[in-house]
Amino acid sequence: MTRSLQVTDRTALGLRKTSNPCGAEVLGPGQPRGEVVVPVRLAVVPTESTPSTAPRPLKLAAAVVAAEGVVLAVLGIVEAITIDSTRLTMGVTTAGFLILYGGALVFVSRGLYRAATWSRGPAVFAQLIQLGVAWSFWGGSTSAVSVVLAIAAIAVLVAIFQKVSTEALADDPTRDHPVL
């Protein structure tokens, strides 16, 4: 769909328009300031960002994975801010790992939301790692963190392995276009 928008219309005042080599219309004699009138065309540009056709469980999984990614990235930023000179190497590598891992999870969540077939493997792998982390946090003062991690990981795994999600993520080379 293309629409034309006239920026200025001085023809009603009796001024004559002429074209120059650039295609712009210049008002002719009688116009005091020599304003240039350029026709503007507005067009709808197709993009790869189409509304998601992913089923609801897959959208839920994408939301949880995105939240996990944001939390990890924030933890990485906090770690980077609070680096102490006595543990500089450990602080920098931990912060870098958390920020990169969080960014990767956000990217995977975008793939899940778009029902891209490539996103299932990394999402499942990340949730299995998270279950292992939850297991290691069990006991003592970190039990609450362990429960939250385990519930989030199990919710994502259940959502990804539901029948509608599995069908949406089925390998169909004609449908999967990995566009950044």
pLDDT digits (tens, 9 = 90+) for 46-96: 444 455 688 999 999 999 999 999 999 999 999 999 998 898 999 999 999
Rounded Cα distance, 59 and 160, in Å: 9
- Asked whether the predicted pLDDT for residue 37 surpasses 50, the reply is yes
Contacts 24+ apart (CB under 8 A), 166-170: 168/53, 168/54, 168/55, 168/58, 168/115, 169/58, 169/115, 169/116, 169/117, 169/119, 169/120, 170/117
- Structure-block tokens of residue 11: 């023809």
Q: How far apart are the first and last CA of the chain?
A: 25
pLDDT per residue over 119-135, tens digit each? 999 999 999 999 999 99
Q: Are strands 2-5 and 25-27 parallel, antiparallel or unpaired?
A: unpaired
Residue 10: pLDDT band by 50, 70, 90 thresholds? Answer: low
**Prediction pTM value:** 0.66
Cβ atoms of 94 and 110 closer than 8 Å? no
